[in-house]
Amino acid sequence: MFAPFLLSAMTLAPLPTEARRDVPSADAPPALPAAGFAPLNLPFPTLGGMQFWGDVTHRAGWRIQRHAVTGHYRLLDDWDLRRAWGDRAACEAALAQEIAARNLPRPAGDVVILLHGMIRSGKCFARLAADLRTAGFTTVAVDYPSTRQSLRASAAMLDEITDRLVRDQDADDPVRLHFVCHSAGGIVLRAWGELQDDSVPVGRSVLLGVPNHGAAMADALRGMPLVGDSLNFLWGAAAAEISRGEGTLSALPAPRGTFATIAGCRGVASGYNPLIEGDDDGTVAVAEAHLVGEADHLSVRGAGHSFLMMNPEIRAATVRFLQGSTLSEPAD
């Protein structure tokens, strides 16, 4: 009976329509290979990371990733070919060579950072990212190992990325960061805000189906025999962090800058999921997606949780808001 809801909640795999793009397993980093370790580097195809790799540096589609278990690093190009691997210093040196050889541009202007949810990757934003680039934004689809570390650890990883983007920015066209987050990605953004001061410029953010007050669905599943154990195994520390009873989310600040929330819904009081009170997108209640301080909100009928970032209405609303307008189309 609950199988469809369990599948919706876990979002077990990236969807077949998604294009390419994908820190340590605990809050403390694992032991790293010896400094100066420089193995033989041959271009090697990868899937971009998924659940065992987390991005720590981005530059014009190239990125350095850290493995969640071993702690070693690799450099991927903009086609997810591995160009170098080893320790951080070796990968940074390889990236510096590529920047010089290929004249990779510095970060500049309006940059939108895309943060995926649980058991997903940056691949899920392919269509929205294309819309944003058409509108003149630069996009950075960040991958983090959502099931291998806490959301706060993922926020610390995001902090590395944003600091580097600002440090490397074009002095003639300074970076202004915006964010689009799906589900648990919004919690990562809020946790990142705890680490920030005014040195990183933040513009606008859109939160898609983010359980800002905790997810009743997660609480219900964690309370079921066997199912709860499976959820804890699959989601790791994040399973507790997104639960309503843990108190983690209430302590987090709202996103910096101006932000809006978007929720999927059925359009009736009972919603889709009997495990959730009120209307919902199958996984997150509309009420859970709201957050004090939001500048705008949009509920989209028929938009399911796993597909929010692919919904044409939501994509258009997101672009409008990041451009400085409202989520809904202005009346003629």
Q: For 152-205, write each residue's pLDDT tens digit.
A: 999 999 999 999 999 999 999 999 999 999 999 999 999 999 998 878 999 999
pLDDT at 147: 87
Residue 33: what pLDDT?
47
pLDDT of residue 242: 79
Is pLDDT at 16 greater than 90 in this prediction? no
C-alpha triplet 206, 195, 296: angle, nearest 5° = 20
- 244 and 220 Cβ atoms separated by less than 8 Å: no
Report the number of distinct structural domains present in the chain.
Answer: 1
Domain limits at 136? 3-34+106-322
The per-residue pLDDT of the chain, averaged, comes to 86
Instruction: Provide the pLDDT for residue 44.
Output: 83
Instruction: Give CA–CA dist 267/36, Å, rounded.
Output: 58
In a domain, 149, yes or no: yes
Q: What is the pLDDT of residue 48?
A: 84
Give the pLDDT of residue 30: 41
Task: For residue 184, tell me if it sits in a domain.
Answer: yes
Tell whether 307 is covered by a domain. Answer: yes
In a domain, 271, yes or no: yes
150 falls within a domain: yes
Residue 274 Cα distances to 280, 285, 288, angstroms: 10, 11, 15
> What are the pLDDT digits (tens) for 82-92?
999 999 999 99
Mean pLDDT of 16-31: 39
Q: What is the predicted pLDDT for the residue at 241?
A: 82
Residue 327 has pLDDT above 60, yes or no: yes
Residue where the block lists tokens 């309006």: 110
E strand map for the chain: 44-45, 53-59, 62-67, 73-76, 81-86, 110-115, 138-142, 176-182, 202-208, 258-265, 296-301
86 belongs to a structural domain: no
Given this model, what pLDDT does residue 148 score? 87
Percent of the chain with pLDDT over 70: 82
Strands 44-45 and 62-67: unpaired
Query: Shortest CA distance to 308 belongs to which of 133, 193, 185, 140?
Result: 185
Q: Please tell me which residue, 331 or 75, carries the higher pLDDT value.
A: 75
Q: How confident is the model at residue 50 (pLDDT cuts 50, 70, 90)?
A: confident
* pLDDT score of 171: 95
Give pLDDT tens digits for 113-156: 999 999 899 999 999 999 999 999 999 999 999 988 989 999 99
Map tokens 């070919």 to a residue: 81
Q: Over pLDDT 90: what percentage of the chain? A: 68
Residue 100 lies in a domain: no
Q: What is the CATH number of the domain that holds 231?
A: 3.40.50.1820
Residue 17 clears pLDDT 60, i.e. is over it: no
- Give the pLDDT score at 21: 40
Q: ∠ CA 292-298-303 to the nearest 5 degrees?
A: 125
Q: Is residue 32's pLDDT more than 50? A: no
pLDDT digit string (tens) for 217-260? 777 776 677 666 666 667 667 777 877 766 678 889 999 999 99
Model confidence band, residue 95 (pLDDT cutoffs 50, 70, 90):
very high
Least-confidence region, from 24-28, 71-75, 95-99, 153-157: 24-28
The answer as to whether 97 is a domain residue is: no
| The two three-digit tokens of residue 106, written as one number | 């510095």
